Copies of this chain bind each other. A is one copy, B any other.
């Protein structure tokens, strides 16, 4: 798929051949989501410039935004010191990363001993996935 694969070999994939990916908004630094990639997903992400993940629940490649239109354009890719986590900085199309219609998937904040949804729904999911 790619002429050079050494950078893919440098990653310490887990027993399932996956690595967690922190997805961060390139412009404002907001952490949008955590997803997972296998080798193929990462190669496709870098080759195409749009985020492709591995869905652990569906056991298939998942092109982010394929149904919602909320694709993620790759701006920068980083690897951590021990090679087992990725940081993907993206331009989030539509400003919505979460399937609930929120900017970020991390919208539950722990306060007073419970998880409270503290971020607004920017678009109704039924309108996103119509």
A positions within 8 Å CB-CB of B: 4, 6-7, 10, 20, 22, 24, 28-31, 33-34, 46, 76-82, 85, 87, 98-100, 102, 105-110, 113-115
Contact = CB atoms under 8 A, between A and B. Distances in A.
Given A22-B31, A28-B29, A114-B6, A80 B109 contact: no
A53 to B, nearest CB: 13
Contact of A113 (B7, B79, B98, B106): B7
Copies in the complex: 2
A57 B107 CA distance: 30
Which interface residue of A82, A106, A109 has the most chain B CB atoms within 10 A? Answer: A106
Nearest to A30: B29
A81 B110 contact: no
